[in-house]
Amino acid sequence: MRFLPTSLPGVVVVETPRLEDERGSFERSYCRDSFAAAGLPDLGVQCNISGNRSRLTLRGMHFQAAPEPDAKLVRCLSGRLFDVAVDIRPDSPTHRQWTAVELAAGDGRALFVPAGFAHGFLTLADDTTVFYMMGASYRAELSRGFRWDDPEVAIAWPDTPIVVSARDRALPPLAAIAVVDLAR
Residue 133's alpha-carbon distances to 31, 45, 169, in angstroms, are 12, 7, 25
Residue 119 among the catalytic residues: no
Peptide bond into 133 cis (omega under 30): no
Beta bridge partners of 82: 102, 122
> From the candidates 30, 62, 95, 138, which is the catalytic residue?
62
Cα-Cα-Cα-Cα dihedral of 2, 29, 74, 93, to 10°? -30
For residue 59, which of 153, 164, 150 has the smallest C-alpha distance?
Answer: 164
Q: Is 132 a catalytic residue?
A: yes
The residues, any chain, with a CB within 8 Å of residue 136's CB and separated by 6 or more, are 45, 46, 64, 68, 69, 70, 71, 115
Q: What is the DSSP letter of 135?
A: S
Q: What's the angle, vertex CA 73, arms to CA 70 and CA 79, rounded to 5?
A: 130
Work out the burial of residue 140: count CB atoms within 10 Å of its CB; fewer than 13 is exposed, 13-18 middle, 19 or more buried: exposed
* Active-site residue set: 62, 132
